[in-house]
Structure 1
Amino acid sequence: MTDADVDGAHIRTLILTLFYRYFKPMIEGGYVYIAQPPLYRVEKGKQAHWVYNDSELAQMLKTFGSEVTIQRYKGLGEMNPDQLWDTTLNPENRILKRVMIEDAEEADNIFDILMGSEVAPRKKFIQTHAKDVKNLDV
């Protein structure tokens, strides 16, 4: 479980690298999951909705209009314990994504590029794919 924002995605990549490099049988066995905390809480009147990404937020705003209150969570520490339980820990409500290796050779290559000690391949990857970035916190 990491934050829902870009920083959380980076930390999640570090954790997945650890599991991929040193505990791969856990991934292959289907024992590694990513808990998905919400990024926003949207309130309209007495109704509150948890929103997990920017596209969901855009859809919610189309549905509810502009008369809403939006709270963005920069990190899990900004949530009250009961909110964290309700959204991310409670088995009845939580969203879990199972980590799977669909293409072992490609996964190995990507982990080497993104997390390896060589800077040049990572720089080339960033330059090639920077135009495709959809979520960037500046």
Structure 2
Amino acid sequence: INHGHLLIAQPPLYRIKAGKLQHWVYSELEREEVMGKLKGAKAVEVQRYKGLGEMSAVQLWETTMDPATRTLLAVNIEDAAHADHTFHVLMGEEVPPRKAFIQAHAKSVRNLDI
């Protein structure tokens, strides 16, 4: 991680279809932009992907696995001690610290990305 050698293939969040056009969308902002461009189009279909298991093998290859078209995100850690602490709070066996974390942050969370 410290040398930039950990990369994650990013799957799309949405597939937006309008007629024969298909858009794979990787962020909420991108979804809003595409929907704005399609305003007034008939039969716009939006499918939200919550996990890779919801995609067909062909879709998974085209969007996430194909080296020619995939998006790779580099993993980096800005504060290793803080990351380690947060990981242990959220994934550890002790429930009270996890509950306290959730209660402390629940009202301010729109999209949780830890």
Q: The TM-score by the shorter chain falls in which range?
A: 0.7 to 0.9
Structure 1 residues 118 and 29, CA, compared in 2 at 3 Å: closer, same or farther? Answer: same
Task: Report the Cα distance in structure 2 between the residues aligned to 1:79 and 1:108, rounded to whole angstroms.
Answer: 32
Q: Which has the higher helix share?
A: 1
2:7 aligned residue:
33
Q: Secondary structure at the match of 1:93?
A: coil
Question: What is the Cα-based RMSD across aligned positions, in Å?
Answer: 2.0
Give CA deviations for 1:9-57 in whole Å, capped at 9, x if unaligned: xxxxxxxxxxxxxxxxxx2343322221112111122211001233322
Partner of 1:70: 46
Residue in 1 aligned with 2:32? 58
Quick one: percent identity of the two aligned structures? 55
Q: Distance in 2 between matches of 1:132 and 1:34?
A: 27
2:68 aligned to which of 92, 101, 119: 92
Say whether 1:120 aligns with 2:91.
Answer: no
With structure 1 as the length reference, what TM-score do the two structures score? 0.68
Structure 2 residues not aligned, in runs of 5+: none
- When the two structures are aligned, how many residues end up with a matched partner? 110
- What are structure 1's unaligned runs of at least 5 residues? 1-26
Q: Find the aligned partners of 2:83 and 2:53 in 1 and give their Cα distance.
A: 31
3-state SS of 1:121 partner: helix
